A and B are shown apart, each in its own frame.
Chain A
Amino acid sequence: MTDTAHYKELFRQALLIRRVEEKIIDVYPSDNIQSPVHLSIGQEAVSVGLCAALDPGDMIYGSYRGHALYIACGGDLTQMFAELMGRVGGISKGKAGSMHLSFPAKGLMGASAVVATQLPHAVGSALAAKHRKTGQAIVCVFGDGALEEGVAHESFNFAALNSLPVLFLCENNRLAVHSHQRDRQSFSVEGLATLYGFPFRKVSEGWDLLKVEAECRVALDAVRRGDGPQFLEITTFRSREHVGIGDDLDQGYRSRAEFDHWQARDPLVQNAALAEALLPEIDAEIDAAFAKADASPTPGIEHLLTDVV
């Protein structure tokens, strides 16, 4: 399985995401990127597997930890770097920054920096898809923390009540900033999903590109068949601090052993030979995109009051 062209393409995308974020880490001390970055390192396979299973016309809603989703759905790297640097050439002309990456041409309809706000957005797009009979599947990607917000209940209830074509994908890294899920939730994710009657599937191997893709495909097929909302929990691991470029494994709120556990399974680490083979081309692509973005001008007063209403 892991020697097929398809696997290599998924692997390449995951590696591209990681190298883009490592580029951000390299550049960050220069202050060329003045935007809070929530890195996806360790979680790349979730976005890559999901996007591999999507059809054209489908819609995705994500969160502020959104670099991986943007790149996995085909987002342009030059526009992304320019956005992070606050340049006119950014996808949102420098008004979005790292936390609000979107790519409507490929269905990424926004990313919010207020936890769980994207859940009703996905449900609303699913309502529109059902009303307009578009055949779209709508996907909402959110972290485990979103499940504690009241609007999650409102969104799940309405989606279930109206049997809407939506996949709820919980990208579970078990952390809300520095607080562990066990200290925040009195319920199990499966128990909650089941409460609304959602078919529930779980991938514990969130590093496994092919397994994530396969499970997303199963869930999306059900959505497209008209089976109503589906719930997929994918366990993953956030390697870096909540926000910023640092490694905070020694700050006492989680263990290095857990990091080691995931590193031992991370294909980008374990399949070093494939990574080595792909790196020259990937790094050249990243460097070229970064240089091009860095040449983009900063916005001026003429941009300040455009697109307000």
Chain B
Amino acid sequence: MNSAAQVATSTEITSYSSALWEVMDRAMRTNPNVLLLGQGVDDFKGIFGSTTGLAEAYGRERVMDMPLMEEGMTGIAVGAALNGVYPILSHIRSDFVLLSANQIINLIAKYKYMFGGLFSLPLMIRTVVGRSWGQGAQHSQSLQSLFAHIPGLTVVMPSSAETILDTYPYLIEQHRAPVITLEHRMLYSLDFEVNRDAVAAVKDPLSSRLVRSGKDVTIVATSIMVLEARRAANWLLEHAGISVEIIDLHCLTNIDREMILASVAKTGRLLVLDTSWVGFGVAAEVCRIVAEHDPGALKVPVKTIGMAPAPCPTAKALEDLYYPNLATVVDAAARLVRGAGHGVELPHERTMSDIYKKFRGPF
């Protein structure tokens, strides 16, 4: 924990996309064998600002626009990694990664183990999770559990500019294994406070993060749901005096089990917030961890919140019902602490996407 004085001297404001741009630029600048590959990495939109200008700075031989060939470009990343290049692939929606699932699941995840450690595949696959403005069934999926399910992959979901800055350089420069990141589209335009001292001080960049200490209820969350957990925690403290502890899972393949168990042992109550469907997913996994290791710590049954169990609809009216909102989260946490008749005033927001107004579409 940093003292208030340190925070005051070293905090700056950086957007999620600026942080991504900074780590991409650093990767290109520090290693001439880093290549950025993807549809549109060199265009004027530059993967929502995260690669803008890098083609001009480092050349189109290193920042390569790719044909529409998701499987092919993923296989190309494998071969490039086996011959001394660190490839960074970008997909503007994680849905499109399904076209490269064969290479990711059958080859990338297994290349080290299947050959008995003769090869390693240091590479990064960046994907963007869409939400709101009618992204619909094929531009909105958050497929982290699909990839975290497969042994051999490292799956990261940065929830802030700071977690990008303290983790991506480590992944690119030191991790020496295949990484899939899921970056949330609605976070791209948001500004975050970044403490450069804290960035430099992170010892285990892939660990889960205790982002808020509390005593009444534990919220374990991913990606943008960490922000929702923080807003809910503020509301609950202000309106009901309920104290919320928040854990950002951050790297889904390196969950800090002890951190979760210690928190649940303290609070006795667990709410899991994920950006995807809850069944067979991150929410189910966190509940498994508690059920297997310390079910007796729970004073009440767990609650999980994610997308409704259907493909994503496009109509805003349905989309607002499809995703959880602040009221959903506050209500669930209050029920865990005080029961169904909790009496805690609920916020009146109909949708998160109205709060994160900066994303005004179309993509």
Which residues of A are at the interface with B, using a C-beta cutoff of 8 A? 59, 61, 90-96, 100, 102, 104, 109-110, 112, 114, 117, 119-129, 131-132, 134, 136, 138, 150-151, 154-155, 157-158, 161, 306-309
Contacts and interface: CB of A to CB of B under 8 A. Distances in A.
Nearest to B82: A109
Nearest to B253: A309
> What are the nearest 7 A-B pairs in CB distance?
A120-B75, A124-B79, A154-B72, A92-B116, A124-B76, A128-B83, A307-B117
A309 B119 contact: no
Interface residues of B, number: 41
Contact of B152 (A91, A112, A151, A309): A309
B209 to A, nearest CB: 20
Interface stretch (B103-111, B163-171, B188-196): B103-111
A59 B79 CA distance: 10
Interface of B: 33, 35, 61-62, 66-67, 69, 71-85, 87, 102-103, 106-107, 111-119, 151-152, 154, 177, 253
Nearest to A109: B82
A306 B117 contact: yes
B118 A128 contact: no
19 contacts: A92-B118, A95-B116, A109-B79, A117-B102, A120-B73, A120-B103, A121-B75, A124-B78, A124-B83, A125-B80, A126-B79, A128-B80, A131-B61, A132-B83, A138-B83, A150-B71, A154-B67, A154-B72, A307-B117
A307 B116 contact: yes
Given A123-B79, A124-B76, A93 B117 contact: yes
Contacts of A158: 66-67, 69, 72-73, 76
Contacts of B177: 309
A120 B79 contact: yes
Contacts of A128: 33, 79-80, 82-85
Count chain A CB atoms within 10 A of each CB in B69, B115, B177 and give the residue with the most: B115
A124 B112 contact: no
A307 B72 contact: no
A110 B117 CA distance: 12
Contacts of B112: 307-309
Contacts of B114: 92, 95-96, 100
A104 B119 contact: yes
Nearest to A101: B115
B79 A151 contact: no
B83 A120 contact: no
A91 B72 contact: no
B107 A125 contact: no
Contacts of B82: 59, 109-110, 121, 124-125, 128
Contacts of A92: 114-118
B106 A117 contact: yes
Contacts of A94: 116
A132 B69 contact: no
A112 B113 contact: no
Contacts of B118: 91-92, 102, 104
Nearest to A99: B114
B76 A120 contact: yes
Contacts of A307: 112-113, 116-117
B80 A155 contact: no
Contacts of A127: 35, 76, 79-80, 85
Given A109-B82, A112-B107, A124 B75 contact: yes
A228 to B, nearest CB: 16
Contact of B115 (A110, A151, A154, A309): A110
